[in-house]
Amino acid sequence: MPKLPHPIHAVLFDLDGTLADTAPDLVAAINRMRLARAMPALPYEPLRLLASHGARGLVGAAFDRRPGDDEYEPLKQEFLANYAAALCVDTRLFDGIPTVLEALERRGMPWGIVTNKITWLTTPLVRQLGLSEKAACVVCGDTTPHSKPHPAPLLFAAEKIGILPQHIVYVGDDLRDVQAGKAAGMPTVAAAYGYCGDGLAPAEWQADALVNAAVNLMDLLDMASVSA
């Protein structure tokens, strides 16, 4: 297992596909739209791969509409309303994540969330997952003027928790997470157990490390000469 390049004093996580398996509720929301139009529901697995891309990915797959198309914005707003109405029905933390978070807390090591999900969806979801009181910071897609892969959200999170970026590892299940982490000067971990999109394989993202199960994060941190 590769060693992270700096002593790690904090961990930041992407939300969808890294901390939480939100795909069941995201896919259900887009398929409700298809069923309302007398269209067949789409299979779960292909849509699951796109869950980290939110409305853009799911509306594109379900209705072949992209940002800039005339019908995209109404479809996006309908999708978001559908999703907000059933935000945390089948969503769960990934296996191993509770163990990792508890271990970080025992060490006194802060952890936080940096997601491209907008605040009005992120805040209630994080609360329903029982993470609101534990996360050192929650940075959303509209917290800063730029979202990932821009480094601004990660740099904002580093400032919030008061730790230099080079001593914070960012864990994510999408190429843009690794790109954002690198641009922010943070070591990065590819969460290969997550959604990972339908493009390059996680092993090709040039992350500092890759984990196939969330619980393996603790092995990486143990090797990083953690100093709380």
Cβ proximity of 29 and 86 under 8 Å: yes
Both tokens of residue 5? 């390049």
| The amino acid at 50 | L
Measured CA to CA, the distance from residue 80 to residue 85 in angstroms comes to 9
Cβ proximity of 23 and 193 under 8 Å: no
What integer pLDDT is reported at residue 199 of this predicted model?
86
Q: Model-level pTM?
A: 0.94
Torsion of CA 147, 150, 156, 162, to 10 degrees: 140
> Could you list the mean pLDDT of each consecutive 10-residue stretch along the chain, which spans 228 residues?
82 97 98 98 94 92 95 97 97 97 95 97 98 97 97 98 97 97 97 92 96 93 59
Is 69 a catalytic site residue?
A: no
**Interacting residues of 64 by C-beta distance below 8 A, sequence separation 6+:** none
Which residues make beta-bridge pairs with 11? 111, 169
- Going by C-alpha positions, the residue among 136, 99, 102, 130 that lies closest to residue 13 is 136
Residue of 16, 25, 174, 208 marked catalytic: 16
Measured CA to CA, the distance from residue 14 to residue 207 in angstroms comes to 14
Is 90 a catalytic site residue?
A: no
Residue of 14, 21, 25, 208 marked catalytic: 14
